[in-house]
A = this chain, B = another copy of it.
Amino acid sequence: MRIEELNWMDVEAYLQKDDRLILVVGACEQHGYLSLMTDIKIPVALADAASQRTGALVAPPLNFGVSPHFGTYPGTITLRLTTFLDTLEDMIRSVYRHGFRRLVFVNGHGGNDPARTRISEIIDGLPGLKVSWYSWWNAPRVTLVAEKHGLKSYHAAWIEAFPFVRVAEIPQGVKEPVLSKEILGAEGSRRLYGDGVFGGPYQMEDAILDEIFQTAVQDIVELLTVPAS
């Protein structure tokens, strides 16, 4: 169930019996051959699936994240880190005011992880609030699934190549992983990463992707079962 399907009276009714909310964050940034909105489409799909199994409400996604290093790849729309942190804080304070108390962020983009710090800074001032942050692609159980199949996770590679984010032909084969010892800006990244994929197989069979997906959904479901304060 998504907020967009409800009016405020519906949310008020929901809050009479539940105080959980799934918030979706990600990025609009280059993902090689995949959709520029890959980092939103995946966590939205995960959130919807977890919502269906738990009845927890899903907030509209914040469609932009922190992607300074991809700023020269056309279509990347990036927020400064401070803008992103302020946005997250505003979202949290908004829903706390209504009575939401158990928040699960489903995050599709590594660049957003510093938000955990801002949440830690403000949470003591919001009594009763519990917040968890789930970055799906490197969650421990997801990593175990990947390792079971002898795979590692790289940006814009197989682990993100779900059917619903494919917008073009994807190369066959495997890209030699690219690594930087320096911190890269947008210009350095484009020179280094070329097509934007960080390495590994470009795609993977659906069964493995589905196993990854279901594992992540299960993780989120468990985060949503945290007891109310």
Q: Which residues of A contact B (CB under 8 A)?
A: 3-12, 14-15, 28, 30-37, 40-41, 59-64, 66, 68-69, 71-83, 85-87, 90-91, 94-95, 97-99, 111, 113-114, 116-124, 130-133, 167-168, 181-188, 195-196, 223, 226
- The answer to whether A8 and B121 have CB atoms under 8 Å apart is no
Q: How far is the CA of A188 from the CA of B63 in the complex (A)?
A: 31
Query: Chain A contact residues: over half helix, strand or loop, or mixed?
Result: mixed
- The answer to whether A121 and B74 have CB atoms under 8 Å apart is no
Contact of A132 with B12 at beta-carbon distance under 8 Å, contacts A71-B97, A95-B77, A167-B7 already known: no
- The answer to whether B120 and A184 have CB atoms under 8 Å apart is yes
Stoichiometry, as copies per complex, reads 6
Residue from B34, B64, B90 within 8 A of A7 (CB atoms): B34
Residue from B14, B121, B123, B181 within 8 A of A188 (CB atoms): B123
User: Which chain B residues border A14 with CB–CB below 8 Å?
Assistant: 74
Q: How far is the CA of A63 from the CA of B25 in the complex (A)?
A: 11
User: Which chain B residues border A98 with CB–CB below 8 Å?
Assistant: 72, 74-76
Q: How far is the CB of A24 from chain B (nearest CB, A)?
A: 10
Residue from B30, B97, B117 within 8 A of A8 (CB atoms): B30
- The answer to whether B117 and A68 have CB atoms under 8 Å apart is yes
Q: How far is the CA of A77 from the CA of B121 in the complex (A)?
A: 13
Q: How far is the CA of A226 from the CA of B81 in the complex (A)?
A: 28
Contact of A4 with B36 at beta-carbon distance under 8 Å, contacts A86-B83, A132-B181 already known: yes
